[in-house]
């Protein structure tokens, strides 16, 4: 069964450093998303991406965050200057069609720890 | 802010029992999705319901979307230990690539 692949599975970084989280969505999917889940809390929306541009972003997704689809297969999330509160599981997801009718396929996540 | 409240938060039952998990909001959603999440993994889609009043069955799991599209329920018949996990509902408002608002989650444990 097709799956969304995320790398790395774990990342430890020092506060203030830049990190790039990588995702390979399912090949025929057109819609891409990043979510995060702080330990013990709800899954929270960060950003959605369609047709090579951001469709929607949350208040969490400030100027420190950016997304890119550099080569037609990878989908990356960059955090420019990490803060302690960025520590969380980051999930990439993709869907075949619009959110209302199509569920997402989530990756296994990247656990980001900022120290 | 759209919120989805799930109840109960925790449920511990014995194998063979039936259970229902509820997902409620004051907001209308264009669709409701149910996911199951294992520790350290991403959510896995179980079902999407899009029409008010819709009922979908997936083996022993029955999902219902409320008539007003503000609430949903998940009913499990004859629970098995393999059903143990975190169940999440998530609502979509509509639009091309709109976000999912996730519920607070229901942690289910089924024991022998």
What does the pLDDT profile of chain A (115 residues) look like in tens digits? Answer: 889 999 999 999 999 999 999 999 999 999 999 999 999 899 999 999 999 999 999 999 999 999 999 887 899 999 999 999 999 999 999 999 877 778 899 999 999 999 9
Planar angle of CA A70, A73, A77, nearest 5 degrees: 55
Cβ distance A45 to B99 less than 8 Å, yes or no, reads: yes
Both tokens of A61, joined, read 């997704």
Task: Give CA–CA dist B54/B69, Å, rounded.
Answer: 10
Task: Give CA–CA dist B57/B76, Å, rounded.
Answer: 10
A100: number of Cβ within 10 Å: 17
Contacts of A108 in chain B (CB under 8 A): 40-42
How far does A18 lie from chain B, in Å, by closest CA? 23
Give residue-wise pLDDT tens across range B4-53: 999 999 999 999 999 999 999 999 999 999 999 998 899 999 999 999 99
Unique residue bearing structure tokens 């950016």: A66
**Cβ pair A89, A36 in contact under 8 A:** yes
3-class state of residue A62 by DSSP:
coil
How far does A80 lie from chain B, in Å, by closest CA? 23
Q: Whose CA is closest to A61, among A75, A77, A84, A73? A: A77
């Amino acid at each position: 069964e097709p799956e969304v692949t995320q790398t790395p599975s774990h990342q430890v970084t020092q506060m203030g450093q830049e990190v790039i989280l990588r995702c390979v969505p399912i090949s025929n999917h057109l819609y891409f998303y990043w979510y995060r889940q702080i330990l013990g809390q709800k899954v929270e929306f960060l950003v959605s991406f369609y047709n090579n541009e951001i469709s929607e972003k949350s208040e969490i997704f400030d100027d420190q965050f950016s997304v890119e689809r550099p080569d037609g297969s990878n989908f990356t999330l960059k955090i420019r200057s990490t803060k302690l509160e960025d520590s969380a599981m980051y999930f990439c997801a993709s869907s075949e069609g619009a959110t209302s009718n199509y569920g997402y396929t989530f990756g296994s996540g990247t656990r980001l720890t900022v120290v | 802010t759209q919120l989805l409240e799930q109840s109960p938060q925790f449920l511990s039952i014995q194998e063979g029992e039936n259970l229902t998990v509820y997902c409620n909001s004051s907001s209308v959603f264009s669709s409701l999705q149910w996911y199951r999440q294992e520790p350290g993994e991403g959510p896995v889609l179980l079902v999407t319901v899009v029409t008010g009043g819709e009922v979908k069955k997936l083996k022993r799991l029955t999902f219902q979307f409320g008539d007003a599209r503000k609430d949903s329920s998940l009913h499990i018949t004859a629970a098995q230990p393999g059903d143990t996990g975190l169940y999440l509902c998530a609502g979509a408002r509509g639009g091309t690539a709109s976000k999912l608002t996730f519920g607070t989650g229901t942690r289910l444990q089924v024991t022998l």
